[in-house]
Amino acid sequence: MDEKAAAERPARAIFASGDRFARAAPYAGLVLCAALALVPLVLGDYGRSLVAEVLLYCIFAMSLDLLMGYTGLMSFGHAAFFGIGAYTVAVLGVQFGLHPLLGMLAAVVLASLCAAVIGFFCIRASGVYFIMLTLAFAQLLYSVVIRWRSVTNGTDGITSPQLASGEATYYVVLAFFLIVYFGLRRLVAAPLGNVFIGIRENEMRMRAAGYATARFKLLSFVIGGGLGAIAGALFALHNGFVSPGVLFWMLSGEGMVMVILGGLGTLLGPIVGASVFIILKHLVSIYSSHWEFIVGATFIACVLFFKQGIYGWCRELLEQKSRP
């Protein structure tokens, strides 16, 4: 490549995209948005409900990727925030008759506060200790929900208030999906997102350059937690029923699988990963009760053969093609 062209290309080494890919992306995005908007008119109840589920797990995976992929915080307790989101909507609805959309607002506030407290303790640790601490906090919340029967109804779970129709729920989920996606896209390009990326790449260097990295990591944890709660709150709306499974470590693990499967450190990666994961889960569970096994095998294959995840792999292919 000649030097002039190299100099004129925007300086974004990791995320640099093939020109053709970058030019096609907005159109592909528009087509996808239009298709998503038409889903309730085209697909039946089952299809619409499946797409809504996919979208809300996309929000969950994107919020986790802000921690894992952008800030380098391998949280194994992200279900905590999903669960807080779901239970806040359900409990406030059942106990006080609060409208689910207001419940959602409360959920985000509560989850952000919890993330600030949990993050305060976890951020101090790193590596495997961070992973274990986040897991421990999430499991703590799980046992609180199981024990606090008077409010949460324990292992029996509680019904959650819902919107008037499935279509309305779908459009609310879609709206939040778009808000979170475009919001995060701006965030990761903004100074704050670049600071997160710097911390992921070399925290010691960031500190030597004057960044109080502990505070930025906490901030990332709080934002990720708040967004994770949106996914959980939407789950309550969508599902109409919440049980302690939404706080169980399995969900944290599934979130990590979605992110890694799709591709760490990108926004489309978690979207691809969550979509593949949820659709696979539905398809396989029709034929077999061992869907975890199949998903697990897919995941291992993915980690072994395309290290950058499905999205990263597709992107590499496209870039190779667009090179002369």
Partner 1 sequence: MSILRTVDLTRSFGSLLATDSVSLDIQAGERHAIIGPNGAGKSSLLHQLGGQLRPSSGRIYFKDSDITGLGPERICRLGISRTFQTSNLFSRLSVLENVRLAVLSRRGNPLAPFVPLARLGAIEARSLEILEMVGLAGRKADPVRNLSYGEQRQIEIAIALATEPELLLLDEPTAGMSPAETARMIEFVARLPRTLTVLMIEHDMQVVFSLADRITVLHYGRLLATGTPGEITANKDVQDIYLGSAH
Environment class of residue 154 by beta-carbon count within 10 Å: exposed (0-12), middle (13-18) or buried (19+)? middle
* Shortest distance (Å) from residue 310 CB to partner 1: 21
Contact letters for partner 1, residues 214-253 (x by CB under 8 A): --x--x----------------------------------
- Residue 309, interface with partner 1 (CB under 8 A)? no
265: left (phi over 0), alpha (psi -120 to 50) or beta: left
* Shortest distance (Å) from residue 220 CB to partner 1: 11
Contact letters for partner 1, residues 54-83 (x by CB under 8 A): ------------------------------
Contact letters for partner 1, residues 160-199 (x by CB under 8 A): --------------------------xx-xxxxxxx-xx-
- The length of the chain is 324
21, 171, 211, 291: which one contacts partner 1 (CB under 8 A)? 211
Comparing CB distances to partner 1, the nearer of 197 and 229 is 197
Environment class of residue 322 by beta-carbon count within 10 Å: exposed (0-12), middle (13-18) or buried (19+)? middle
Site for partner 1 in 13-52 (CB under 8 A): 13-14, 16
Cα–Cα distance for residue pair 267/59, rounded to 1 Å? 10
> What does the DSSP assignment read for 144-196?
HHHH-HHHH-GGG-EE----S-HHHHHHHHHHHHHHHHHHHHHHHHSHHHHHH
Cβ atoms 41, 174 nearer than 8 A? no
* Shortest distance (Å) from residue 55 CB to partner 1: 23
* Shortest distance (Å) from residue 189 CB to partner 1: 4
* Shortest distance (Å) from residue 193 CB to partner 1: 8
* Shortest distance (Å) from residue 124 CB to partner 1: 13
202, 292, 297, 316: which one contacts partner 1 (CB under 8 A)? 202
Angle among Cα 176, 192, 77 to the nearest 5 degrees reads: 60
Chain centroid offset of residue 278 CA? 13
Comparing CB distances to partner 1, the nearer of 66 and 104 is 66
Question: Which stretch in 60-68, 138-146, 211-219, 248-256 sits in contact with partner 1 by CB under 8 A?
Answer: 211-219
- Residue 3, interface with partner 1 (CB under 8 A)? yes
Environment class of residue 136 by beta-carbon count within 10 Å: exposed (0-12), middle (13-18) or buried (19+)? middle
Amino acid at 49: S
Residue ranges that bind partner 1, judged by CB under 8 A: 3, 6-7, 9-14, 16, 186-187, 189-195, 197-198, 201-202, 204-213, 216, 219
